[in-house]
A and B are shown apart, each in its own frame.
Chain A
Amino acid sequence: MSSETQQIRELAAQDYKYGFTSDIESDTIPAGLSEEIVALISRRKDEPDFMLEWRLKAYRAWLEMSVPDWAYLNVPPMDFQSISYYSAPRKKEGPASLDEVDPELLETFEKLGIPLGERARLAGVAVDAVFDSESVKTTYKKELATRGIIFCSISEALREHPELVRRYLGSVVPMRDNFYAALNTAVFSDGSFVYIPKGVRCPMELSTYFRINAAGTGQFERTLIIADEGSYVSYLEGCTAPMRDENQLHAAVVELVALKGASIKYSTVQNWYPGDREGRGGIFNFVTKRGLCEEKARISWTQVETGSAITWKYPSCILKGDDSVGEFYSVALTNNHQQADTGAKMIHLGRNTSSTIISKGISAGLSQNSYRGLVQVGSKATGARNHSQCDSLLIGDRCGAHTWPVIDVRNPDSVVEHEATTSRISDDQVFYCRQRGIKEEDAVSMIVNGFCREVLAELPMEFAVEAQKLLGLSLEGSVG
């Protein structure tokens, strides 16, 4: 291993010393969960009454639910009463500017090709100090506003557009959907809200990066995106650097609504802290993501998952309208002690609906990587079509790759295909590259990138470049 890669590896492995130091106490409510706490969260956020009722209902439903145990995951028992459910907005005591940040960390950002503004945010620098966020914010806000696009935090949306939020929030992921969705509904602190009016094509990729307040939205994030008839939006979610977070549990809910002829592209690059080499620490990521497609609508999920100690995530498309399209492209990479149980659900209800699932799982080290998915064709979904492809790549002899797809077809005039393969990087491939003077680690990185090419091609350009580098970085030390 070259000294350069060695350095990055050490850097990626070291403890995170900067940023996110402490919350000011007055902003954090006591740990534990009760009706009072739920009411307190709602009150602090100055929400309309219907929200409080909704949250309380979800909380009562949650009390009756139990932690799901069907996934191929080893989840240590969690004490939901020891978590503080509201800690935003956070005030941070961080370095004042990028000059004060550890140069090695900056070098990692450089490697990943993170935009300058985002680097500062990730290093815990208060962004306003180094980067004129206001101007960025206002420039894009103005441009979006001229087209009638609403892009704000969900709390802001609740205050300013309660009718929209009320109509759609919880319409795709009902509060009783699952344990973590119910928990999220009861206690979510903030998240993003997007509304694209009829026939509008959003001129830019919307990203949480643009919105400063998204940085502190904490562990229970709620995202709601509504694309009205004939509109288009591409939304990027994620953090793209080896970011540390003190929160153990993340239970987010993402709801997408694509009305007639609308198209939503949702891209995620997830690189939460995966825990150390011995599997200590790391984020538990339990996410419910679902989209509803009306007639001729299209929802495309693209995800690159390299982080989190535990990932439990099944982005879904409900293809309700005729001729609607659902897509899912995913790369899930696990290394060391990481565990991932992830996949997609495609529910075909309308006629001539089609869906595609391309899932690439890579397991290295001692990790366990599972694909779990559902393709369901309802009895009225005449002409439905699905193609699923799940490929797994194993690196090392102590990891596991598993596939658990479910295919349920109730309509004869539909075609459903599922393919899966599991293989490893062959010695021949590596030998061929090395013979041509390519270092072993570079060869592996190249082969892995080739393996994931179909998915990476779906990512917006700048994300794709980062994701490729991320894959290489996450695999450091797993070969040789």
Chain B
Amino acid sequence: MNGARTLAGWLTDPPEDAGLVAGAERTRLALRALELGLPTARDEAWRYSRLEGLAEEELMLAGEGPAPTAPQLTALTPEGVRVDRVVVVNGRLMPELCEIGPLPAGVGFGSLRAMARAAQGGLKEAADLLERLDSLCRPDQRMFSALNTALAGDATGLWVPDGVRLERPLLVISLVLPGADALLTQPRLLVVIGRESQASVMEAHGGFGPTPYFCNAVSEFQLGAGARLEHLRVQRDSPAGRRVSGAFLRVEAGAHVRSHTFTTGGRSVRNEFQLELAGAGARGEVNGLALLSGESVVDNHTHVTHLAPDCESRQTFRSILAERSRSVFTGRILVARDAQRTDAVQSFAGLLLSDTARALARPQLEILADNVKCTHGATVGSLDPDSLFYLRSRGIPKALARRLMIHAFCSDMLGRVRTSEMINPLDRLVTRTLAEQA
């Protein structure tokens, strides 16, 4: 086991077994990450993310971690529902905890390293999947993507061939369980859904304990023509944890993707979404709900690009901010010249529950085609005193009335989830988080 080093230290001399690519390509990406460097407060797009001091911090590169306790696992697993799951602890896949049932022919789900071995053994699907690694997350321009590819221990891969409908949701549980030393972990997910196929994938991220950690997650999704995907992501970080997570989605003609992210804490969480509507009639939905208290900061960045005509995109973000928490939403819709008849909607609503909470919204439209319908809206406010009074006048105590109203504010987001097995667990998560914060 190596000792703790700074990010730059790991990148200059990466350990042998780290990285998702081999040899020269890994060296190139590590150098590229060094060259791009960590963003500073002077970078407009990163002004509000709390990454200060990260460059100097001595971190352990995640490796073998302790076995998670049952509550740590169940906290993120829907109860009473049969799912196929992969469990990753500190960036390593834990085969003994994975439960993968019989999957339809041609579907691959599991460790990307194992798939790489299968590809060497001549499995065409595995080779096809590996080929798509890094095709969306722009490692040459985005430091965190290069860092992930160069240093990640393993990744989870999902390959769904053309015309396959997956009945059960797939779950990827990714836990950070730091010991005494601060930790660097890099979960990675690569999903390729074939033409006319359908799947539902949930990423459950959790961080535990008082030790600081930095989690750099990258997820890439490619949808073939006519495919359907629902992507759910739950992030429960400890107050010592910092996270940068990127979701990169590319949607071909007639395909639909829905992506929902639930964030419930962390010292600083940055969620980046890149949605490319690449084929005519594609549809993409990106939703985010953040329930924050303490000193937590969530920084949501979306970048939706309409490249083809007749596409539709929806972005809905809600933040509930208690105590000294802070939420940033920077949403961008870019409509390319050829993307006629685009229909794009973006909305952010912030609910401030304390005098010291803060919400910042920067909804942006960049439109180069003329036949488009684009709207964005942003509102920030507090609980409506009249509604609160109404509930109290019916004998509901103030604290409960507040919670009811906050829950109602969230239910709009829960209502957007289509994977029925997941709605109840998510609702429980919201209820529990609200109770904890109250």
Chain A residues proximal to chain B, CB less than 8 Å:
70, 377, 379, 392, 394-424
Contacts and interface: CB of A to CB of B under 8 A. Distances in A.
B350 interface: yes
A156 B203 CA distance: 70
Contact of A403 (B359, B365, B368): B365
B378 A412 contact: no
B56 interface: no
B374 interface: yes
Interface in B352-372: 352-372
Contacts of B378: 405, 407, 416-418
Interface string B303-341: 000000000000000000000000000000000010010
B375 A419 contact: yes
Tell me the dominant secondary structure on chain A's binding face: strand
Given A397-B369, A412-B353, A417-B378, 6 more contacts: A392-B367, A394-B367, A405-B361, A406-B360, A410-B358, A418-B379
A412 B357 contact: yes
Nearest to A415: B381
A196 B357 CA distance: 41
B276 to A, nearest CB: 19
Interface string B371-398: 1111111111110000000000000000
B357 to A, nearest CB: 6
Contact of B380 (A395, A397, A403, A409): A409
A402 B369 CA distance: 11
B366 A400 contact: yes
A411 B355 contact: yes
Contacts of B359: 407-409
A396 B368 CA distance: 10
Interface in B184-199: none
B44 interface: yes
Contacts of A397: 337, 340, 369-371
Nearest to A395: B370
B370 A399 contact: yes
Contacts of A408: 358-361
A460 to B, nearest CB: 32
Contact of A419 (B364, B369, B377): B377
A412 B378 CA distance: 15
B365 A409 contact: no
Contacts of A402: 364-367
Contact of A422 (B44, B358, B372, B380): B372
Contacts of A419: 375-377
Contacts of B354: 412
B376 A420 contact: yes
Interface residues of B, number: 35
B372 A420 contact: no
A395 B380 CA distance: 33
Nearest to A368: B368
Given A70-B44, A392-B367, A422 B381 contact: no
Nearest to A374: B362
Contact of A412 (B340, B369, B377, B382): B382
A421 B375 contact: yes
Nearest to A417: B379
A416 B362 CA distance: 13
18 contacts: A392-B367, A396-B370, A397-B340, A400-B368, A401-B367, A402-B365, A404-B362, A405-B364, A407-B378, A408-B359, A412-B352, A413-B382, A414-B381, A414-B382, A415-B379, A416-B379, A417-B379, A420-B377
Contacts of B375: 419-422
A478 B377 CA distance: 30
A383 to B, nearest CB: 11
- What 3 pairs across the A-B complex have the smallest Cβ distances? A412-B352, A407-B361, A409-B380
Nearest to A396: B370
A59 B350 CA distance: 43
Given A404-B362, A406-B362, A414 B368 contact: no
Main secondary structure of the interface of B (DSSP, over half): strand
A411 B381 CA distance: 8
B317 to A, nearest CB: 12
A417 B44 CA distance: 23
A424 B371 contact: yes
A394 B374 CA distance: 12
A410 B360 CA distance: 8
A394 B340 CA distance: 12
A70 B44 CA distance: 10
B352 A407 contact: no
Contacts of B362: 404-407
Contacts of A70: 44
A421 B379 contact: no
Nearest to B330: A406
A334 to B, nearest CB: 13
A416 B380 contact: yes
B331 to A, nearest CB: 10
A70 B354 CA distance: 33
B355 A418 contact: no
Contacts of A411: 352, 355
Nearest to B369: A397
B377 A417 contact: yes
Given A406-B362, A417-B379, A412 B373 contact: no
Given A406-B362, A412-B354, A418 B377 contact: yes
A405 B353 CA distance: 24
Contacts of A420: 363, 365, 374-377
Interface in B29-53: 44
B379 A424 contact: no
B112 to A, nearest CB: 39
A401 B364 CA distance: 11
Contact of B367 (A400, A413, A416): A400
A430 to B, nearest CB: 13
A379 B365 contact: no
Contacts of A422: 365, 367, 372-375
A394 B370 contact: yes
A320 B379 CA distance: 22
A44 to B, nearest CB: 41
A405 B381 contact: no
A280 B61 CA distance: 58
Contacts of B374: 420-422
B316 to A, nearest CB: 15
Contacts of A403: 363-365, 376
Contacts of A407: 359-363, 378, 380
Contact of A409 (B340, B360, B363): B360
B355 A379 contact: yes
Nearest to B349: A417
A251 to B, nearest CB: 24
Interface in B264-298: none
Nearest to A399: B370
A412 B355 contact: yes
Contacts of A412: 352-355, 357, 382
Nearest to A407: B361
A404 B333 CA distance: 11
Contacts of B44: 70
Contacts of B353: 412
Nearest to A412: B352
A404 B372 contact: no
Nearest to A371: B365
Contacts of A400: 366-368
